[in-house]
Structure 1
Amino acid sequence: MSRVDPSLLLVAHGTRNPRGVDMIAALADAVASRVGPTRVAFVDVLGPSPSEVLRDTTGPTVLVPAFLASGYHVHTDVPREVAAGGNDAVTVTPALGPDPALARMLVYRLRQAGWTRGDAVVLAAAGSSDPRARRDVYVAARMLSAIVRTPVRVGWIATGEPRIAQVVDEVRAEGAHRVFVASYLLADGLFHRRLLDIGADGVAAPIGVAAPVVDLVVRRYRAAAAGLSTPAVVHRGA
């Protein structure tokens, strides 16, 4: 008799940009090398959906929402998809962000883009009408600010005010010599492309696939797996 580890389902937003899709696939592959087979589902734009994957999954499953903030997709879409999947042995972890590991990755990407101490930093996020998601982004900004030792303002790319271009202009008008944008996005896509034309002195790449991100997904999975109250077992032999 041996314990069967729960399967891992990584759930992301979805994008029509092939670079973004490839990034999520690469993240899943990197996680799978640590914890075993990892499946991917999307809550928007493309499939498969979480419910479709869960219908084809037996046994306990840990679902890790690959989101940087917990808004509508995490609080509404994911629970609805889990219910529709018909698998009553699904444990949903907290979203990936905000987290200190992601803040450190933001700094790493800023440095890659040419940021140095003394340069102003603005955090760009997609935006959300969900106040819980917006609060998470402001927490991420405070985490980033603690590392770069300068105030970090937040600007929204698609939903919410102030928009990122406005914040960049305001920070420059306040006397900043150089203004860099930290991209609070997991993968490349339309939202990140928009950041390249807002007049910042530098735009950091999205967080992407890196060891700290892989570690974060693995930690989410292992914490949930360890917390399962009734481990599944299989019987071998007659």
Structure 2
Amino acid sequence: MTPTLLLAVHGTRDPRGTAAARALARRVAHRTGAPVRLGFADVRGPDVGEAAAAIDGPIVVVPAFLAAGYHVGVDIPAQLERAGRADALLTSALGGDDLLIAAAAHRLHQAGWRPGDAVVLAAAGSSDSGALDQVADAAGRLGRVLGTRVPAGYITTATPSVPDAVARARRHPGQRVAIASWLLAPGLFHRRLAQAGADLVAAPLCPDDGVVAAVAARYHAAALTTAAT
């Protein structure tokens, strides 16, 4: 039996963010040929557990998160357990995938970045040190793609803040600073970046094809594991 792909996203009150999540689910369904459902880890429903409870048969849960913080490590597994679907196979978050690094670079080029511009990678932030390490790793890898040092800045919780990181990156008065968005969808966090003092801000990663491919790759790998058991 083909496992259902349950796409777990954060959730937002911004209708554009919800529309981006639904569009991602549709594109993943088209790419994989699998049944795809959407569940929200926070803010709105159905939560991941509620969505899982409505599915018959095997489930692969792919968390559309850029780091494995609280939601991926604690919240989503707890929602699945409460719903009686602790049998669902939970994949890793998306942030460690080279496809997303390429997507961030692509978005930055679309925003007008050019060699010589300083870059800050703007992430949501977390109190989880492991999640922050993953963001720092992503910033380093993006820097290697772009050929320049890329520090991370955080929109909430962690330091440095994005405005502080932008100010530090501006090495002289004429220096342009670009923000690479380590965010999947539009919403409050991305809107805040417009006030961070940068000269240009890249769009969120969705609906870049790299995000679709990263979700599909995790699903296919997990589905093979499910079929072998």
State how 1:37-48 maps to structure 2 within 5 Å: 37-48=35-46
Question: Percent of aligned positions with the same letter in both sequences?
Answer: 47
Greater alpha carbon shift after TM alignment, 52-61 vs 15-24:
52-61
Moved more, 208-217 or 177-186: 208-217
**CA distance in 2: counterparts of 1:208 and 1:66, whole angstroms:** 11
Which residue is 1:158 aligned to?
Answer: 156
Contact between 2:140 and 2:151, CA under 8 Å: does it hold in 1?
no
Superposed displacement of residue 173, structure 1: 4.0
Q: TM-score, normalised by structure 2?
A: 0.96
TM-score with structure 1 length normalisation?
A: 0.92
Cα pair distance change 1:136/1:176, threshold 3 Å: farther
| Secondary structure, counterpart of 1:133 in structure 2 | helix
Q: Tell me the residue number matched to 2:170.
A: 172
The separation in 2 between residues aligned to 1:230 and 1:147, in whole angstroms, is 37
Matches within 5 A, 1:111-150: 111-150=109-148
Aligned counterparts of 1:206 and 1:198: Cα–Cα separation in 2: 16
Task: Give the total of aligned pairs.
Answer: 228
Q: How does 1:69-80 map to 2 (within 5 A)?
A: 69-80=67-78
- 3-state SS, counterpart of residue 180 of structure 1: strand
Cα distance in structure 1, aligned partners of 2:94 and 2:77: 16
Deviates more, 1:112-121 or 1:80-89: 80-89
2:12 & 2:85 partners in 1: Cα distance?
Answer: 26
User: Post-superposition shift, 1:230?
Assistant: 4.9
Which structure shows the bigger proportion of residues in strand conformation? 1
Q: Distance in 2 between matches of 1:88 and 1:75?
A: 13
Structure of greater Rg: 1
**Residue 79 of structure 2 aligns to which amino acid in structure 1?**
E
Alpha-carbon RMSD: 1.3
Deviation at 1:45, TM superposition (A): 0.4
Question: What residue is the counterpart of 1:14 in the other structure?
Answer: 11
Per the alignment, residue 226 of structure 2 pairs with 228
List runs of 5+ in structure 2 lacking aligned partners. Answer: none
